[in-house]
Amino acid sequence: MDLSYSPAQAELKARAAELAKRIMPYEQQCDEHEGLPADVLAELRLHTLDLRLNAVNMPAEWGGQGLSVLDQVLAQEELGQLTNALWDVVWRPANALRACDELQRERYLLPAIRGERRDCYAVTEEGAGSDFTGIQTTATADGDGFRISGEKWFVTVGDVADFLIVMAMVGPEREPTLFLVDRDTPGVSVKRTPRYMHAFVYKHPIFTFDDVRVGPEAVLGGIGAGAELTREWFVEERLMIGARACGAAERALREATEWAQTRQQFDRALIDNQMIQAMLADCAMDIATARALTYQVAAECDAGMPRKLVHAKAAMVKAVASEAAGRVVDRAVQIFGGRGYMREFPVERLYRDIRVDRIWEGTNEIQRLIVSNEIAKRGLDELLHPWPTR
């Protein structure tokens, strides 16, 4: 089993690290103003294109970078070192958009790949979070089209996106279906934009859909395909959360190590104290363990691992990496002492940023249910060993 980076992967990591380096100077500005101005975002778009890191999850023939899952993980890990979720300025169109037909691809996906348009995924509702069968948003037949009515919460990037991927239930059978809805369609409005624990580069508005009329061309992937497309999106995003969590944890550990080496207390460096040494060692072990699992599962995806097993192993990655990162960042804050509680220090911003990774794209409690369901149905062998088992 070869765990070394290929020359192409090493070059990819270097490009991603360079992009992170170019974005990093804007971290404190983003935190203080809870976002960045349009001219800065436009500049960062050009950097993304220059370093060929736009739409890494989309096929090259459509203008994306066509990276494997493992290569996407390597890029996301580098970008995950950024605070204030500035990794999200490096756009990855929702993988559900691969289901676009030719006309939809021209109108939505290709401009999104180029960074000329931005999508956001509208699934969650006030009463429907982890269990999306409780979704109340409906799409009622109206001639050859539909009228969408409902409300969506936590629509990440909704403040800058110009089209939404909306989950709605169709007909008396309540068939979960995705619709492509332009932001400026009559009846689409922002109810309010809550403030959150982190100062994300983009916002998470609550959208209202008041009898929004869309044509049949708005249906993405077919009536009733919404649940499966969303599940596939969740699986991919859980792997990317794992990758970014590893990156965030590594940055926190590097910051804490440098501080421990230079900070003098009681006439010696902090790192000379065994309790500090133990904290640093625990951080290194957490990161190494989470990274190994993340890389393994990404490589297994590229090797054609069955989707149900991918679903379970991606759940493991998301839970393991997000919780490991939480422990690492918490220790880093402690090592920094009072400065770790100051917003001008990256470890404080990472502390607020990383907490949501245990919640979004399925809470970690849901991830545990997915894993336990895999154990109950198919046993432990494939779950615990690299795929394929021998």
Please state, rounded to an integer, the average pLDDT across all residues of the chain. Answer: 96
What share of the chain has pLDDT > 70, as a percent?
99
- Over 90: is that where the pLDDT of 390 sits? no
Cβ-based neighbour number of residue 261 at 10 Å? 11
One domain for residues 233 and 378: yes
One domain for residues 244 and 207: no
Which residue is catalytic, options 78, 125, 232, 361?
A: 361
Q: Which domain holds residue 102?
A: 7-114
- Over 80: is that where the pLDDT of 377 sits? yes
One domain for residues 102 and 54: yes
- Over 90: is that where the pLDDT of 240 sits? yes
Q: What is the CATH number of the domain that holds 269?
A: 1.20.140.10
Per-residue confidence (pLDDT) for residue 129, from 0 to 100 = 84
Per-residue confidence (pLDDT) for residue 130, from 0 to 100 = 81
Per-residue confidence (pLDDT) for residue 318, from 0 to 100 = 98
- Over 80: is that where the pLDDT of 179 sits? yes
- Over 70: is that where the pLDDT of 389 sits? no
> Could you tell me if residue 2 is inside a domain?
no
Residue range 215-222: mean pLDDT, rounded: 98
Give the pairing of strands 138-142 and 163-170. parallel
Report yes or no: 137 and 148 within 8 Å, Cβ to Cβ: yes
Per-residue confidence (pLDDT) for residue 388, from 0 to 100 = 86
User: Which pTM value belongs to this model?
Assistant: 0.95
First-last CA distance in the chain: 13
- Over 80: is that where the pLDDT of 254 sits? yes
One domain for residues 325 and 200: no
Q: What is the CATH number of the domain that holds 34?
A: 1.10.540.10
Residue range 32-52: mean pLDDT, rounded: 97
Per-residue confidence (pLDDT) for residue 124, from 0 to 100 = 96
Q: Which of 312, 311, 324, 305 is nearest to 243 (CA)?
A: 324
Q: What's the pLDDT tens digit per position in 81-130?
A: 999 999 999 999 999 999 999 999 999 999 999 999 999 999 999 999 88
- Over 70: is that where the pLDDT of 296 sits? yes
Residue range 58-86: mean pLDDT, rounded: 98
Least confident of 1-5, 98-102, 137-141, 314-318: 1-5
- Tell me which of 114, 141, 171 is where a domain ends: 114
Instruction: Report the number of distinct structural domains present in the chain.
Output: 3
CA distances from 33 to 29, 30, 124, 225, 304 (A): 6, 5, 26, 39, 44
Assigned token pair, 270: 């902090």
Per-residue confidence (pLDDT) for residue 132, from 0 to 100 = 80
Q: Which of 281, 350, 279, 361 is nearest to 317 (CA)?
A: 361
- Tell me which of 210, 225, 240 is where a domain ends: 225
> Could you tell me if residue 377 is inside a domain?
yes
Give alpha helix (H) positions in the chain. Answer: 7-23, 27-33, 38-50, 69-79, 102-104, 110-114, 226-262, 274-302, 307-336, 346-354, 364-378, 381-384
Residue range 285-293: mean pLDDT, rounded: 98
Per-residue confidence (pLDDT) for residue 3, from 0 to 100 = 79
One domain for residues 133 and 252: no
Per-residue confidence (pLDDT) for residue 2, from 0 to 100 = 78
Any catalytic annotation for residue 361?
yes
